[in-house]
């Protein structure tokens, strides 16, 4: 991989991380303004669904942040762009589109089909943060 590609990807990841951090601060600030204790049922229901949306968003942002930090750490360690399952190079085109990609397309497809989880202890270990944080 060319160093200018890596530089650009690192810049994009850092920018994405910064925007997620700014957004999560905004969500936390928005919480006290909610209508959760309003006497009106519609206001409370609406506040409830807003809160659920916000919590889901914070959860998703957290997963993305973890993934971005993982990618940035790999860039620093020099093993960025290597599939975590088969250890083959992930094509640059995929990394440009999904800079925090951890798997090649073939492994990603298998993961999505849940085939690897049952048979690959290495994958289970690396993927465990998602399982833990979703409990
Ligand atoms: Zn792979």
Structural domain range at position 36: 3-80
**Residue 18 domain-assigned (yes or no):** yes
**Residue 101 domain-assigned (yes or no):** no
**Residue 63 domain-assigned (yes or no):** yes
**Residue 96 domain-assigned (yes or no):** no
Instruction: Name residue 54's beta-bridge partners.
Output: none
How many domains does the chain divide into?
1
**Residue 133 domain-assigned (yes or no):** no
CA distances from 21 to 2, 13, 37, 68 (A): 29, 12, 28, 12
Sign of CA dihedral 69, 73, 79, 84: negative
Report how far ligand 1's centroid is from the alpha carbon of 89 (Å): 8
Report how far ligand 1's centroid is from the alpha carbon of 109 (Å): 9
**Which residues in the chain come in under a pLDDT of 70?**
24, 27-34, 115-135
- What is the reported pLDDT for 103? 95
Report how far ligand 1's centroid is from the alpha carbon of 94 (Å): 12
Largest CA distance in the chain: 60
> What predicted TM-score, i.e. pTM, was given to this entire model?
0.69
- What is the reported pLDDT for 108? 92
- What is the reported pLDDT for 68? 96
Q: What does the pLDDT look like over 84-121, one tens digit per residue?
A: 999 999 999 999 999 999 999 999 998 888 765 556 66
| Cα separation, 65 vs 76, whole angstroms | 16
**Residue 71 domain-assigned (yes or no):** yes
- What is the reported pLDDT for 135? 47
CA distances from 113 to 13, 17, 48, 107, 109 (A): 27, 28, 33, 10, 6
Report how far ligand 1's centroid is from the alpha carbon of 83 (Å): 5
| Cα separation, 86 vs 123, whole angstroms | 10
């Amino acid at each position: 991989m060319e160093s200018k590609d890596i530089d650009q990807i690192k810049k994009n990841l850092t920018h994405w991380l910064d925007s997620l951090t700014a957004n999560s601060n905004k969500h936390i600030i928005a919480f006290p303004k909610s209508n959760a204790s309003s006497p009106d049922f519609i206001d409370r229901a609406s506040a409830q669904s807003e809160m659920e949306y916000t919590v889901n968003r914070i959860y998703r942002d957290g997963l993305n942040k973890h993934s971005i930090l993982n990618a940035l750490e790999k860039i620093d360690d020099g093993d960025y762009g290597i599939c975590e399952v088969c250890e083959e190079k992930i094509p640059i085109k995929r990394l440009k589109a999904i800079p925090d990609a951890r798997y090649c397309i073939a492994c990603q497809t298998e993961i999505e089909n849940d085939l690897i989880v049952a048979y690959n202890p290495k994958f289970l270990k690396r993927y465990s943060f998602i399982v833990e944080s979703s409990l």
